[in-house]
Every structure is written in C-alpha cells, then in structure tokens.
Amino acid sequence: MKFACIVFPGSNCDIDMYHAIKDELGEEVEYVWHDATNLDEFDGILLPGGFSYGDYLRSGAIARFSNVMTAIKEAAEAGKPILGVCNGFQILLEAGLLPGAMRRNEKLKFKCEQVELRVENNSTMFTSGYELEQVITIPIAHGEGNYYCDEQTLTRLIDNNQIVFKYYGTNPNGSLADIAGIVNEQGNVLGMMPHPERAVDELLGSADGLKLFQSIVKQWRLSANVVTS
C-alpha cells in the first residue's frame, strides 16, 4: 500500500507519520508538498499535525485552500482512506470533509500528555484491529482540540455511529461528548486529535496506535483483493 504524507508550510509531525508508515508498518510512503494537484498514484492519504500556515485565522483555515485539497476531496469521493491527525483533523473540518469545528482548549492551555481513548466503533477501516470499547493509550499535543458541533450534527454523528474515539476517564480539552475522533458518513475519512503515529512502539510509551495503521492496510488489501504471503 502506498501512502501520501501531505506537507503544508508549518507541518511538524510529517516525519513522525513517515516513520510510522515506513519503519513500523513497512509500507510505502512519500512526502507530498501542498501544491500537488494529483494524488492518483496513492492508495491512502495522511494529513499530519503541526501548525499549517502558522494557524493564522484559525487552525487549518488557510490550508483548506491549498491546491492539494482538491485532490484530497477527489480521493475521499473515490473511497480512499484519509487520516487527519491533530492539525490534519482541523484541516478536514475546515475543508468540510468532516462535520463540526475545533475551538481552543477549555482552559486555553496547550496540552501535551498521554491520554486514554475508548474505541466507540471498531467496524471502520481504521479501527477493525481493535476491540469495541477497548481502552488505548495515545498522546495528544494541541491547543485547539475542543471539538464542537451543533445538536443536530451530534445526533447525526451518534445515529450514524461516526464517533470512533472518545476520551476515557479525563477529557483533556473540553471536547463535546468527549469526542476525540470521528469519521465521515462513508467511513473512509477519519479525523482525530490524538497522535497514533506517536504510539507505534513501546519505546515511545505505547504501541496502541500501530493497530490503526495496520487496520487501514488490512482493509485496503481486502477491498483490493491483494494476496500476501
């Protein structure tokens, strides 16, 4: 499987994402600059964390106008897996690929710590490797991770089983309904604030994030009828 790791001016988690895919997952990955207009050669798209365009206006508000976003929307419509982490999640929200918005953390402080998440939906292409309601440990590092949406949108997210991860035990940022990650209705676009790419080896404090990437590859191979030895 071949991944595109999108790099915006101000991205700073692209190297972490690249390492997770190439060295821990053992799959192909390439850095793709934000001015790219075609992603047809890639099977999956990764939007890493950071501070795209310095987070001016709002986090992700300028990145949504980058040339590559048109290609990302086309990939989403084609059913390719798209993962946006932290700033990548914010960009997906600003681009309308996921519903809702991101606000400043409840106490207006940057949070960088390990958190526990509960798997709310393990039937997605991103979470099939987990057990339903499994509690996993994944780090966060953000100042604007307070997810919000209106009541009608929240009801739709619940009814469609689009809430994939919730903060477990302690909500670090005030996110509505403890939401840490959601998918689109089609189920192929995931946005999450915690960083699974920073939890792919026990040396990092947790390897719980690796199953997310393994799930993507497994489901892609099943859908593409790829035979492995």
The answer to whether 183 and 124 are in contact (CB under 8 A) is: yes
Residue 213 CB neighbour total at 10 angstroms: 25
DSSP 177: G
24 included as an active-site residue: no
86 included as an active-site residue: yes
Name the H helices within the chain: 14-19, 68-77, 87-94, 151-159, 210-224
34 included as an active-site residue: no
CA distance 200 to 206: 7
From the candidates 5, 142, 144, 195, give the one annotated as an active-site residue: 195
CA distance 92 to 190: 9
From the candidates 86, 94, 142, 149, give the one annotated as an active-site residue: 86
Catalytic amino acids?
86, 195, 197
